[in-house]
Structure 1
Amino acid sequence: YREIGNANGTSYREVRRALEGTTTAMLLLNEKGEQIVSTAVPIKRGGVVQGVLLMSTPPGEIDDILSEERALIWVLAIFALIATLVSSLMLARTVAGPIRRLSASAEHVSRNISARHELPDYAHRTDEVGQMASAFASMTDALYQRAEASESFAADVAHELKNPLAAARSMAEALTYAKTDEQRQEVVRQIQNELKRLNRLITDVSNASRLDAELARQQMGPVDVTSVVASVSQIFHDILSSDSRRVATAIAHAPFDGAFLVSGHAGRLGQVLTNLVDNAVSFSPEASTVTVHVRRVAGIVELTVEDEGPGIPDDRLSIIFDRFYTDRPDTEAVRGKNSGLGLSISREIIRAHGGEISAENRRGALQASDDKPLGARFVVRLPALVASARSGMTSGRRPAPVAPDRHHDASRDRV
């Protein structure tokens, strides 16, 4: 910038451009290095430039404004840096630290499952870290329970396998003492029965050991419980065609379309129902009826299997679903016919479907608790897929009936 005093204003370049009709602004520096903003505006009348208005800022005014803005920016930058450091420390203490401790504990638990109680406890926190800690604890407990179940299952299997093997070995040793052909044939028959029992046990153990993995892989979808009941009833109708016992169904009126739909696998639900019906038939006297009831109770689809047999001793109701538990009636003399896994497998299948299964005795309204029961009752409760009639309006079509898995476990495991 040069000060020209009273000289002709055209010495300023911005003025010369303004005389040409163009508004011009320029940033200049004086000898001290101070900034000056100069603006030349043409003055027009009738489209002709009559003159130029030149305006400029005092030297140093722009520098003062910039200095103030830079100072404010530095203050904001310092505050931002402090806030970043504080936030980083807080995140490291409240998030990164707990996650690091959870990771270290999880790695330790992976090497020693018994150290699951050493997981950090963040149950008091309601944020994502607390949720992650709860998920870690639940997962670890589930893994520990699975490990314990596998160990217990292996011990039970080993114990159960020893029984038929010991019996077969004893019969084989007794074969040398048989004096007549009839005695030898009887011993051979008993050995064959024990071998059949062992074969059945191995098959059932194999099925039970694969159950969890198969349930996890199988895709669940809408299943109409009434279709499963109809299919299983038809199977037993054919099986009992020459028997005095029979299987009947009693399906309650559906309050709305889709009331008996559940989310599950039709083959597995058919396996459960087949086990329960086969179990009830085996305990039913001649000319009796096993009845399968289906009804809707609130948001639950309830499936009930009732027989007219001797019932279940009250002291066995709590263990009837245990693995390898079996206690057959005196009329059933054939050994090796069941392994005691049928009801246990049924319970696992129902639990995988989010339901529950229970056993009880049938009694009359005025019957005392110590009187002989009218029979046994098994109750399966499954969460309904359609919650109400209003939500069922959008699901008018029901899935096609699917026949249950014919390769079911028909072991019969109760008294």
Structure 2
Amino acid sequence: MRRLSLRSRLLLLTSGLLLAGLTLISAAVAGHLERYQLDRVDDQLRSLSAILTGVAASGPPDPVDATGRPELLDAALDLIGAPYLVYLDADGTVAGGLRTSGLDSGELPAAGDLTGLPADGTPVSLPSADGDGRWRAVAMPATGWEGTVIAAAPLDETDATIDRLRITSIVSGAVLLVLLTAIGWLALGRGLRPLRRIEHTAAAIAGGDLTQRVPGLAASSTEIGHLAESLNTMLSQLERAFADRAAAEARMRTFLSDVSHELRTPLVGIKGSAELYRMGALPERADVDAAMLRIDREATRLTALTEDLLLLARLDEAPEGQLDRAPMDLRTLAGDARHDLRTLDPSRPVELTGPDGTGAPGPAPVDADEDRLRQVVANLVGNAVAHTPPGSPVRIGVGTIGGRAVLDVVDEGPGMTADQADRVFDRFYRANRSRDRSGGASAGLGLAIARSLARAHGGDVELRTRLGQGARFRLTLPAWTRA
């Protein structure tokens, strides 16, 4: 079975509630009016019965002869509001009575019903003898004789008034229900129009267009406005997530390609040397020694690459678990880095200063893993040596800035473009891929490892560079203060 639309369900719900409300109101009004009419008749009958009990103090009054002028009796009975008066003896037999001439015996209450009335003034509704109408009767004990006085009035007028009210309520309620249902259908269609726009936008997004957004369909203070803003926020997050996933997949493909290339190069060298030996192409001892040297060099390079990859994997998974922290000062690493630079290139001027190149080196206490930070500084120093001309100056700055311990490695090399600077910390990225990587040249993991280790310490490695103006790599870590 096909489910109804939201518009139809809302309309059915509101129409049902409206119908129930109209029905309850109509029933309440009709019931209140009927109660009011009955109370009015009851008051008249009680008053008349009380008067009649005093008038008939010695027994039932003599019958009134109204055959000559019946209209006079009819007018009198109508005036007092009781078209039927009955006097009962002590044994319950009818001792006398008066009635309007327009009523026959079949329209009056049955005698058996009258004798069963409680003589305490309680109003009782009685059916007519022919069953076509209703009467309201009140019985009270007579004064001065054993008997009962009964005053009764027909309820035809009251019932007709109530019936007219109910018919009017039904007709007007039906017209009102149809009218409001039509207005509700149009109003719901207009009110749900933004949801259809949202539905079309969602369909476009499901078709692959992640740039679609829900238009501003209503004020932000309304429910539709809140929904549109929430959906647009979610769509922006989805678009970013898909873009990040695509970028991650592209990086993964590049990473796997680079790993394959980096692993294949030493393996080819090892396999080639082993093949030459197996084929007997190395007859001399010196040739064998040279081949073994190449195998050892490539194996060492392969081992270093594997260890770097394992370290990056561990840092990605549980960075804090790779650290053995202890209080230390970055000035120690800065001094050792200056000695390393002079050892690698004695002709290169190396200056040890404060963080911004002014003043003497300042204290930079940190709570860190000294061996891991030495690895970071060694990568920064090795990067400066590898990418600057021999003999070019290098400055190492160390100190504290804004509650952060800082160590700078600044060179005066060729610098990098903005695109190169954005990617320099990517794994296996090399600004010049055509560069000869023989002799243990880097595979492009040094800066990636440096940044991962710095972030594991709660810090970072930042780069500031411009093409032709050198580069500054800054290691920043939370400064340690003695408790």
TM-score (normalizing by structure 1): 0.51
Instruction: Deviation per CA, 1:93-147: give whole Å up to 9, x if none.
Output: 54367447636854x6xxxxxxx4x347225346144344434333332222222
Aligned residue for 1:154?
256
Q: Retained in 2: the 8 A contact 1:204–1:341?
A: yes
Residue 295 (structure 1) aligned to one of 387, 398, 402: 402
Alignment pair present for 1:74 and 2:174: yes
Post-superposition shift, 1:306?
0.7
Q: Structure 1 311/39 Cα, relative in aligned 2: closer, same or farther at 3 Å?
A: farther
Q: Structure 1 65/121 Cα, relative in aligned 2: closer, same or farther at 3 Å?
A: same
Q: Retained in 2: the 8 A contact 1:293–1:304?
A: yes
Instruction: State how many pairs are aligned.
Output: 320
**For 1:132 and 1:33, how far apart are their aligned partners in 2?**
72
Residue 300 (structure 2) aligned to one of 196, 210, 218: 196
Alignment pair present for 1:376 and 2:472: yes
Letter aligned with residue 251 of structure 2: A
Alignment pair present for 1:124 and 2:215: yes
**Percent of counterpart pairs with the same letter?**
17
**For 1:243 and 1:209, how far apart are their aligned partners in 2?**
30
Alignment of 1:75-154 (within 5 A): 75=175, 77-78=177-178, 81-82=181-182, 85-86=185-186, 89=189, 94-95=194-195, 98-99=198-199, 102=202, 105-106=205-206, 116=208, 118-119=209-210, 121-125=212-216, 127=228, 128-154=230-256
Moved more, 4-13 or 80-89: 4-13
Post-superposition shift, 1:279?
2.0
Q: Structure 1 95/334 Cα, relative in aligned 2: closer, same or farther at 3 Å?
A: same
User: What secondary structure is seen at the aligned counterpart in 2 of 1:169?
Assistant: helix
Post-superposition shift, 1:168?
2.5
Say which one has the larger Rg. 2
Letter aligned with residue 154 of structure 1: L
Give the number of the structure whose residues are more often helix, by fraction: 2
Residue 185 (structure 1) aligned to one of 277, 282, 289: 289
User: What secondary structure is seen at the aligned counterpart in 1 of 2:159?
Assistant: coil
Alignment of 1:216-231 (within 5 A): 231=326
Q: Where does the alignment leave 5 or more consecutive residues of structure 2 unmatched?
A: 1-37, 42-80, 89-108, 141-150, 217-224, 341-351, 354-360, 386-393
Aligned residue for 1:166?
268
Letter aligned with residue 402 of structure 2: R
Letter aligned with residue 306 of structure 1: D
**For 1:237 and 1:101, how far apart are their aligned partners in 2?**
60
Q: Retained in 1: the 8 A contact 2:213–2:232?
A: yes
Instruction: Deviation per CA, 1:298-348: give whole Å up to 9, x if none.
Output: xxxx664313x64553136525223313599xxx99627x54224336667
Provide the aligned C-alpha RMSD in A.
Answer: 6.3
Post-superposition shift, 1:236?
10
Post-superposition shift, 1:165?
2.3
User: What secondary structure is seen at the aligned counterpart in 2 of 1:305?
Assistant: strand
Q: Retained in 2: the 8 A contact 1:290–1:306?
A: yes
Instruction: Deviation per CA, 1:346-368: give whole Å up to 9, x if none.
Output: 66799999998531369xxxxxx
Residue 278 (structure 1) aligned to one of 358, 374, 378: 378
User: What secondary structure is seen at the aligned counterpart in 2 of 1:7?
Assistant: strand
Q: Structure 1 323/32 Cα, relative in aligned 2: closer, same or farther at 3 Å?
A: farther
Q: Retained in 1: the 8 A contact 2:330–2:364?
A: no
User: What secondary structure is seen at the aligned counterpart in 1 of 2:85?
Assistant: coil
**For 1:180 and 1:348, how far apart are their aligned partners in 2?**
47
User: What secondary structure is seen at the aligned counterpart in 1 of 2:377?
Assistant: helix
**For 1:96 and 1:25, how far apart are their aligned partners in 2?**
63
Alignment pair present for 1:359 and 2:463: yes
Q: Retained in 2: the 8 A contact 1:280–1:290?
A: no
**For 2:127 and 2:378, how far apart are their aligned partners in 1?**
103
**For 1:272 and 1:76, how far apart are their aligned partners in 2?**
82
Aligned residue for 1:386?
none
TM-score (normalizing by structure 2): 0.45
Instruction: Deviation per CA, 1:37-95: give whole Å up to 9, x if none.
Output: x899x9xxxxxxxxx9x998833333344344444543554355446644665577543
User: What secondary structure is seen at the aligned counterpart in 1 of 2:426?
Assistant: coil
Letter aligned with residue 185 of structure 1: D
**For 2:452 and 2:87, how far apart are their aligned partners in 1?**
100
